[in-house]
Amino acid sequence: MSLMEALHWRYAAKRMNGKKISRGTLDTILEAARLAPSSYGLQPYSVLVVEDPALRERIRHAACDQPQVSECSHLLIFAAWTEVDGRHVDELIALTAAARDLDPKELEGYRQSLHAAIAGFTPEEKQPWAARQAYIALGTALTAAAAERIDASPMEGFDPPALDDLLGLEERGLRSVVLLALGYRDMAEDRLAGLAKVRWPRERFVVEWGGA
């Protein structure tokens, strides 16, 4: 299936049938999210994987009782780091030097520029910035899931403080941003499944200046 075919097939399933996806397929989707781009390459978020049915049922109560939460195979929680500072910059520089077989001193200019950029954020700016990076990974995971023929339903309809409290995320330095239910659509229970995809026409969606 081509990428365009996969994206046309993709649908944010409102009901799922409880069937499990394979570990290999899950790992492919998670790896795609890990490989997503992010500002400065810092990836200031984590992806939590919840498979336990009892826990997903409890999460459902904090997620507007959306059935996908308990009917899915795995629930991914994209959670932004509550703190992003110079320690993370130094860790990234060390990781980059090791991956590229460089002397960390060769990256000193880059390290200093990253320190300055992160220090330039106010506390009020850091959280929305980190959350936006998590959404880039979410989009990549959605595309990867479609390519694997796995239904993936993104959900903002939940109570973040309640979910954070349920999972003890504050103690982990995390704050929930968006959910992604992975599984298989239930064609019998989902009245919207199988309907034509509706998007604005290209001439309204795309605005071009110059060129062909």
Q: pLDDT tens, 23-39?
A: 999 999 999 999 999 99
- Whole-number pLDDT of residue 126: 94
Average pLDDT over residues 40-68: 97
Q: Whole-prediction pTM value?
A: 0.94
- What is the C-alpha R_g of the chain? 19
Contact 10, 29 (CB under 8 A): no
For the sheet containing 151-155, what is the strand order?
45-50, 74-81, 174-183, 151-155
Q: pLDDT tens, 82-121?
A: 999 999 999 999 999 999 999 999 999 999 999 999 999 9
Q: What is the mean pLDDT of the chain?
A: 96
> Is the predicted pLDDT of residue 55 greater than 80, yes or no?
yes
Q: pLDDT tens, 66-79?
A: 999 999 999 999 99
- Whole-number pLDDT of residue 212: 60
Tell me the percentage of the chain whose pLDDT exceeds 90. 96
> Is the predicted pLDDT of residue 59 greater than 80, yes or no?
yes
Average pLDDT over residues 150-158: 97
- Beta carbons within 10 angstroms of residue 151's beta carbon: 26
Q: How far apart are CA 201 and CA 168, in angstroms?
A: 44
> Is the predicted pLDDT of residue 127 greater than 90, yes or no?
yes
Contact 66, 170 (CB under 8 A): no
Quote the tokens at residue 186: 């239930």
